[in-house]
Structure 1
């Protein structure tokens, strides 16, 4: 059994360091070793998660996917969550989340009956927490949209400013030969952001 830790942050200002320390502390307390960390900056509402899929590709039956919170794994809609669950089931990967105590026993070996019972219970709890995470995501988006509409009505909305300095840094890194993955890790930008910036730069230079 190998333990693979997955850390996701959707914004550049979110730091995965604190979550990484908490996962290490959890593993140390239970005398288990984390074989690898997979870190990316992508939205939990999207299935476009290269590092998560790399983790699953490298996993073997019985391996553990360790996360800080269930919403780090999923803020997906029901259809996409079903796709991800199917992948986890096919790979026979067990999800252990620090905010889901019923999953903690899956990080250690035990008798087969206990493991099957905990797997069933954990699956049910994951479904519930994933649904709550999705509702929280939709609620926050709805409140943000309402706030923008109010600001527009009051003539106060100017839209979100582009971070020109960061964008120029990203383009410079890419021009210097850095890989997209390295640029994403260094800046917190998503791959879709890099794609958009490179397309705009190509049009301007044409």
Structure 2
């Protein structure tokens, strides 16, 4: 028997990384499986080094399933980084199943060796296509955003990225309650970087009060 590991990702702390969790749970239940563990993080898909993704890859055993909503949750990587990630996944014989790749669903059903090899070959080709499309879409959105920022700066309308004050307030409350970074990450789906930033601000504020 294999285990199914769910991977949920959003690019920023303001986005809900758990948005697709219910849909993925329903999908696995319909096939008669459960999700052994969820790996959730708020990191850019254009970045190879993602702590929760690599924790999943470290824990998973040959034959286990890496389940995602869409391939762009797994990769918006440039080609060389995608090849590196794909090599890590293939070397451990981890099977990628994604809701936007219907041919991958069969990898969660029993099949003879010939059928499995055919499906694996098809999925490999489709994975490369979807990963390349996700990267192209990412680069196009970045280009359009850069154009928008440049125009706003010229017109004097650019104010920069606003902080999520509600998120920071929740982090601060959990820190005050003595919660660990890992607990806060799991509870409100934010990055360690953001928790660290809020923690440093709190420490600096306390030091100012003492002075």
For 2:17 and 2:201, how far apart are their aligned partners in 1? 30
Residue 158 in structure 1 maps to residue 159 in structure 2: yes
- Who is 1:101 aligned against? 102
Contact 1:41 1:184 in 2 (8 A): no
Q: Secondary structure in 1 aligned to 2:96?
A: strand
- Who is 1:62 aligned against? 63
Residue 77 in structure 1 maps to residue 78 in structure 2: yes
Distance 1:165 1:24, change over 3 A: closer
In the TM superposition, what whole-angstrom CA distance separates every residue of 1:112-145 from its partner, at most 9, and x where no partner exists?
1111111111111111101111111111111111
For 2:147 and 2:137, how far apart are their aligned partners in 1? 15
Distance 1:28 1:168, change over 3 A: closer
Structure 1 residue 40, shift from structure 2 partner = 1.8
- Who is 1:114 aligned against? 115
Contact 1:42 1:48 in 2 (8 A): no
For 1:124 and 1:2, how far apart are their aligned partners in 2? 24
Contact 2:75 2:131 in 1 (8 A): yes
Distance 1:87 1:28, change over 3 A: same
- Who is 1:146 aligned against? 147
TM-score, normalised to structure 2, is: 0.86
Residue 167 in structure 1 maps to residue 168 in structure 2: yes
Tell me, which stretches of 5 or more residues in structure 2 are unaligned?
A: none
Tell me, which stretches of 5 or more residues in structure 1 are unaligned?
A: none
User: 97-106 or 38-47: which moved more?
Assistant: 38-47
User: 8-17 or 124-133: which moved more?
Assistant: 8-17
TM-score, normalised to structure 1, is: 0.88
Contact 2:65 2:97 in 1 (8 A): yes
